[in-house]
Amino acid sequence: MRLLKVLVAIFICLLANSCTQSVTTENEPCDGIFYMDMDGFSSKSICTDHLDTYILNKEALNLKVMNDELAGKVIFELFLNPWDGPGEYHFGSGLNKCELIVHGASDEFYKCTSGKILITEATSNKMEANFSIVVEGFYNKKVLHARGGVHL
């Protein structure tokens, strides 16, 4: 009986400690203009306070971000054609495209195989959008899942 009481006491202590040690590991998006989190064979985040290209006209929208990394450069570009104004656009078929290029120890080119971008506002000097995409490597055939946003 005494052994049972000791085991119950230990169990209660373990439960109490596990409840008080909860740690949040969620990453908050950066406060920059562009951010992207990638999961796949390597987890990586990009956060930058500028866009290298942002072109919006009646026919198309083009956005390009180049980010210098310790081991090289990462370039992300998306092209929406036709541009029909704010709304949801899909990647993987049609003329909408996105690419991720990694320059460094092992150069790789990734293209969007699926995904979407939801643009809630877009003018010549402002853009609000969130995206979730899947890209596949041209050479290594690795698949990355990425999500992010543009807040210009």
> Can you give the pTM of this predicted structure?
0.75
Which CATH class for the 29-151 domain? mainly beta
Least Cα distance to 152 among 132, 123, 118, 116 occurs for 123
Handedness of CA 95, 148, 65, 141 (dihedral sign): negative
Q: What is the pLDDT along the chain (152 residues), one digit of tens a residue?
A: 443 343 333 333 333 333 333 333 344 567 889 999 988 756 678 889 989 999 999 999 999 999 887 667 889 999 999 999 999 999 987 789 999 888 877 788 999 999 999 999 999 999 999 999 999 999 889 898 999 999 98
